[in-house]
Amino acid sequence: MTATRLPAAERSGIVRDGLAVGLATGAYGVSFGAVAVTSGLTVLQTCALSLLMFTGASQFALVGVVAAGGAPLSGAATALLLGTRNTLYGLRMAPLLQWRGWRRAAAAHVLIDESTAMSINRGSVPAARLGFVSTGTAVFVLWNAATAVGAIGGQVLGDPRTYGLDAAVGAAFLALLWPRLRDRRSQAVAGGAVLVALLLVPLTPAGVPVLAAGGVALLAGALGERGAGGRPA
């Protein structure tokens, strides 16, 4: 679709999907807020992390290092390492969204796994933009609201896993990924990424298995292009 204005039905569908992902992912912010406070951060520090850093894996990595007795600088370095994947997202999304100036700067702050996944496979620039904005905004608002709730009630809530909140993000990612597994090659890449991640979980710090799984997809893409004589496979 090349029209600059989307049909009402398509718009409502994209926004509805974005809100659904925002609810599933945002709910996990309660877990982060509770974990951060019980790890020694104040409510203000916890909320500031969600507002300014706003990338769940990096936030949990920083808090995990601090909770284990590590230096804050080490936690920040770990968080930065995990955040490098967002740079790859930016390289792909910039030509797709075609924003300039302050819009591009604002989009960079909500450039996360969910907003990327909900816009990258749209059939037009307007649809991609709407998917990106609706998902990114929903996750940002709900994640920060849930972080505040979890931080304030952290001592009362106890272990967030008791409520099953640790499964919310995994379920959301599975819902995003499942429709893309239509052919054998995609299924093989997904299976390889899962295997690599599972093998690394007991051997490496949190977050590294995710980066390694992403590396499997990058390697498969590079090999596919080479096999197709330089053309996208």
1 is a domain residue? no
What pLDDT score was predicted for residue 155? 61
Q: Are residues 168 and 80 in the same domain?
A: yes
Percentages (nearest 5) of helix, strand, coil residues in the chain: 75, 0, 25
Total tally of structural domains belonging to the chain = 2
What pLDDT score was predicted for residue 15? 92
Among the listed residues 200, 160, 206, 146, the one whose alpha carbon sits nearest the alpha carbon of residue 39 = 160
Summarised one tens digit per residue, pLDDT across range 136-193 is: 999 999 999 999 998 888 766 655 556 655 555 555 556 656 666 777 888 888 888 8
pTM of the model: 0.69
**Predicted confidence band of residue 228 (pLDDT cuts 50, 70, 90):** low
Name the residue with higher pLDDT: 10 or 141.
141
Backbone angles phi, psi at 172, to 5 degrees: -65, -45
pLDDT, the chain, mean = 80
Structural domain for 211, as ranges: 181-233
Other CB atoms within a 10 A radius of the CB of residue 169 amount to 19
3 is a domain residue? no
Q: Are residues 124 and 229 in the same domain?
A: no
Q: Are residues 129 and 218 in the same domain?
A: no
Q: Are residues 103 and 174 in the same domain?
A: yes
Summarised one tens digit per residue, pLDDT across range 57-103 is: 888 878 877 777 777 777 788 788 778 878 888 888 999 999 999 99
4 is a domain residue? no
Q: What share of the chain in percent tops pLDDT 70?
A: 81
